[in-house]
Structure 1
Amino acid sequence: MTEKTQKIKGLLILKGITITSIAKNMGVSLTFVSLVINQKKKSKRIMNHISGLLGASYEETWNDNIVWEPKIPSGTSLNK
């Protein structure tokens, strides 16, 4: 898992946003959203949506420029 993927997952967890909720909201499979977050697939529509949920621009989210570090509570799994 890349540092970018860890940051995105961490920020989603901090905001209480699940991959399942993103998938349902976007009308796609949970697997597809997971592949996008893990940078195995690209979907500008889903990537833009995730950026909006994080309160960041597309460039900040997907071009290694997330400006703040998530603080993940100990014992929290990033593999949701």
Structure 2
Amino acid sequence: MEVKIGVQHAPREIVIESTQSAEEVERVISDALAGKAPLLSLEDSRGRKVLVPSERLAYVEIGEPAARKVGFGAL
């Protein structure tokens, strides 16, 4: 699951590949935005944690990962 996080006053977005389902990610994000959690905490596919202060969230985009193309075939 690909998750893009926009942070206020930051020029680039954070992009992580998470093994969590879309429903789990959405629940964590809604808890952070509702003030139930001071930090948005997500774990990527390699086991690293990403922590973002809830009040600094600009947007969060949840989507499927893009398939990587391998080889030299015609596009």
Fold agreement, TM-score > 0.5? no
Q: Larger radius of gyration, structure 1 or 2?
A: 2
Higher helix content, 1 or 2: 1
Higher strand content, 1 or 2: 2
TM-score for the superposition, normalised by structure 2: 0.32
TM-score for the superposition, normalised by structure 1: 0.31
